[in-house]
Chain A
C-alpha cells in the first residue's frame, strides 16, 4: 500500500462523497424513467469528446463535458420531435459517439493510450483538484435543490408521463431538466469513476434502493446514501488491493445491487 499525502486523500473522500450523492440522486430518476442506457450513452459521448480533445491537443475533460451535456440536450428533443422511442435514440447516439471516439483516437497516433485518455475512461480519483471539488459541490447542491423544488412534478412524470400531462402538468421542461441534470452529472463525475463506469454509479445504487421501498421519497433519500457508501467502500478496496478506483466502485455497487435483489422484501412471498 502506498502512503499518500493527507490533502490528496481528503480531496478523494470529498470527491467520492459528492459524486456518490449526485450520481445516485439523478440515478433514482433515470432508473424509474427507463433511461438506464442514457448514462451509458453519455459516458461514451464523454469518451468521444476526450478523444477529440487529444486529437486537437485541447483539454480532453472540457470536450468530454461538452459532448456529454450535448447528448443530454439533443436526446430529448430528437426523441420527441421524431416520435422515436428514447432507447432507439440512445442506441443510435451510443454507436455514433463510440465510433467518433475511435476515429478521433485513430487520428491521434501515440496519444491514444496516454494517461490523460485513460484517466477519462477509467477515472483518476487521486488527481482530483480543489476546482473539481468546487464544481462537484455546486452541481450536487443544485441537483438537491432542483429535486426538492420540483419533486412532485418529477414524481408524477415517473409514474406516467401521459397521466402527468392529463393532470395539468407541462411535462416537457421537467423531462428535459432530468436529461440535462444527468448529462452534467455524468460529465462532472468523469474524473472520479471515469467515462466508462460512471453509469454504474448512477444505476446500481438507485436500483438497489428500489429493491427496498415502495415510496419514491424513501428511494430518493436512500439512493444517495447507498451511492456514498459504495464510493467509500470502493475507494477503500482500491487503496488496499491496489485496484483502479472506478472499477472498484463499480464492482462494489454491483455487489450491493446483487445482495439487495437477494434480500429485497419486495420480492419475498407471504
Chain B
C-alpha cells in the first residue's frame, strides 16, 4: 500500500537532508508507530508519505507515485498535523472545518450532499464531539481542536490514516478514548501510521514500531523487539 525506496527529503535552503536512505513498506491494514527523539525526522517522514514535501527516491502510495498523483492519492489519506492552531476570531465553524476534510473527495464543482452531511454528523458522534458542531473553531480548547482535526481526517473515510502526535493536548481519558477508536478503525482494515514521542501512548493494537534518529531508520521491527531493546 505504501512503499518508500531510498527516500531523501531536504528542506529549502538546507544542505543536510532531514530524512535519508528511507526504505519502508507498509501493507494494507497495518498499524505502525514511528518513534524517535525531537528533530529525528518523524513529521518529515509523515509529510513525505503524504506528498506534502518534495523528496527524492520513490514514494509509492496505492501503487502510484505520490509526486505525480498527489492530489488524487490524498483524497484517500486522512492526515492529522502536529499541534494545529488557529486564532480565536477564525471565521469557521467546527462542522465546516470537518466537512473540508471531504472536499477533495466530493470533487470540484460539486456541493456537499445530504450523505456528506450525514457522514460529518456520524464522525463527530463517533469521536464524542457532536455538541461542538456549531462552535467557532477558534473558541475550542487544545484538546477539542485536536479531536476536531482527527474528525476532519476521518470525514473523508480514508484508507490510510496519518497521525502526527494525535494525543498531544488530550487528557488521560481522551487519550485512552481516541487510542481505542484508532484501534477500532485499524480493525476495520484502515492502515494507520502514527508518530508519537511518548511510547506509553502507543495503542496495544500497534504491533510494528519504527525507530528513527538523525533522519534514518534505526530499527523497524515488532513492538517488543524495538521497545524491549
Contact = CB atoms under 8 A, between A and B. Distances in A.
Interaction A to B: yes
B103 A167 contact: yes
A167 B100 contact: yes
A159 interface: yes
Given A156-B100, A215-B96, A165 B52 contact: yes
Chain A facing B: main interface SS: helix
Contacts of A162: 52, 81
A166 B79 contact: yes
Contacts, number: 85
Interface stretch (B55-63, B85-93, B213-221): B85-93
Chain B interface: which size bin?
Answer: 35 or more
Interface of A: 32, 83, 149-150, 152-153, 155-156, 159-160, 162-170, 210, 213-216, 219, 266
Contacts of A150: 108-109
Interface stretch (B15-23, B24-32, B68-76, B203-211): B68-76
A159 B52 contact: no
Contacts of B104: 167-169
A166 B52 contact: yes
A216 to B, nearest CB: 5
Nearest to A149: B109
B136 A155 contact: no
B103 A152 contact: yes
Nearest to A166: B79
Interface in B72-117: 72-77, 79, 81, 84, 86, 89-93, 96-97, 100-106, 108-109, 111-112
B92 A214 contact: yes
A172 B34 CA distance: 31
